[in-house]
A and B are shown apart, each in its own frame.
Chain A
């Protein structure tokens, strides 16, 4: 196919896709909803696709070999940069609240929650190779454990946190038992169902969970017994330190709580990786029959992976409950599992730093994109963009999806796709990207 024909074909596909998505806009007017046509916006996008395809084709026409080389160099570059990125990120994470911006601290808390979930799921998916599409179930178990224990028995956050982890871990083992013999797609389906079952039980078991109305008034955590309350005075954080009570103090405190929890998850995963159990998880991912023939108890090894991953999901869930002070089954839908799984896959299965970066891009990037787009929209005064400017933020998910697709085309094994051996003599050698899993579950 000639490049020109190819580009025309791509443009035609783009027209079919973007015609309805971008070309039609529903506006609510005096007589209810009406359709507005936006031919210019559509034409711009289709034109971009046409030109882009031409460019890609001509770029590919020249040096194929070179493309590979640059990719390889890029991979090595990223692997080297990883040594510096991690400490920089850590310092940035610790320093973030000093910006004093409520918005950034809230966003940071959200990102860290997903980083923690990503690291937890990474144990199951990245290390043990068990594709889990129902991870949100453990998040929900943790959140409801804390919510119910604290509102019913008046227990504090720090007492409930380990319990929430324990309950979620048990739920993980419970899920593990029936799926021991399943692999890949079949495992994915059952875990998906498990996630839905938990959500539906939470919705319908009204006497326990208050059903779709959720649980309100979940207590906030305390700092060594000091409450964060607006009244100030005896027994509160502000009163103890003799400062003016402010909401931001609690927000910052919550931020540090999730930072510590996330770092704990990271530390435990890194430790686990170096002990024989972690090695057995990886071996299990590689070849189950070989594991059996080496005397590995495959059942126990799988169950510990499920349990351990679920435990961290539960801890994150307890944090979520205390931060929101309100939870309902609506917070634990499949899209949460999908987001966390996307973070793990995008990060490069098994890479701790990759997961962190992916969470920043997926969660933080999506929010930032909203701001950038509204800013850009405000700047566009030309009549040519009249149709688009105001609605630019609506394109957020479209752009985001596009970025994900481009990412997986350019780096199919994730952002950071190396693997550090669990034992090493002398220098640890990074295992090259080509040898790491590519979209396998």
Chain B
């Protein structure tokens, strides 16, 4: 397997505050990689830095061997990276259909109906809600829409930022199984940021643990799940 995305020594700052401290991370083609960590560990910052907003101050980000560290966000997103951002950020006053079309913007307009059908096959609920305004959807449906919108660009790498945030356990399971199906069926590579460590590690092939802006542990999902310190820090009293 080749590295689709690799970060080496990446640091990022918000003003004077250092949010990321020398991140080394690799995502190989066809993998689901998860990044777990507590609130404020820098998970979302890492996601955003990959997208160039904020830009990495030092270090290097390679996508398919191309250095994209200093690229503007919209060019990065045109390379086949798509993001379902934290908090979903769907366009509340536009319809589900319009939201999905916005996702298709970067990938050309040739086979939009096909891509719509693929998204609807994955999330049939969205088809029912097609003419409804995004803001009237339930939280779970909005998350499906955010993921569907990201998939409309036919990405080679999907960045998912806390898809389980604020959702009922049943809906989380639905969404996670959709991600797994997608990965198995199409070989889509996924980088998943999660607070829900147990579910995320079970889903992922490999995982990284982020503490205070630095990676402290890495391994396969099963390995990390077995680690006593992971159990203590992220799974205690939790979801097992």
Contacts and interface: CB of A to CB of B under 8 A. Distances in A.
B97 A425 contact: yes
A283 interface: yes
B130 interface: yes
A324 interface: no
Contacts of A425: 97, 130-131
A295 B105 contact: yes
A132 interface: no
Contacts of B153: 294-295
Contacts of B130: 425
For chain A, give the interface size range.
20 to 34
Interface in B87-101: 89-95, 97-98, 101
B94 A292 contact: no
Interface in B33-48: none
Interface residues of B, number: 33
Given A292-B51, A296-B105, 19 more contacts: A276-B109, A279-B98, A282-B94, A283-B102, A286-B93, A286-B94, A287-B90, A289-B85, A289-B89, A292-B73, A293-B77, A294-B105, A294-B149, A294-B150, A294-B153, A295-B73, A425-B97, A425-B130, A429-B131
B132 to A, nearest CB: 9
A422 B102 CA distance: 11
Given A294-B106, A295-B105, A435-B93, A422 B74 contact: no
B133 interface: yes
Contact of B91 (A287, A292, A423): A287
Contacts of B91: 282-283, 286-287, 290
B102 A294 contact: yes
Contacts of A254: none
B142 to A, nearest CB: 12
A346 B102 CA distance: 29
Contacts of B196: none
A280 B102 contact: yes
Given A289-B89, A294-B106, A437-B93, A423 B149 contact: no
Interface of B: 51, 53, 73-75, 77-78, 82-83, 85, 89-95, 97-98, 101-103, 105-106, 109, 130-131, 133, 135-136, 149-150, 153
B74 A298 contact: yes
B133 A431 contact: yes
Contacts of A292: 51, 53, 73-74, 77
A279 B90 CA distance: 14
Contacts of B103: 294
A293 B131 contact: no
Nearest to B72: A297
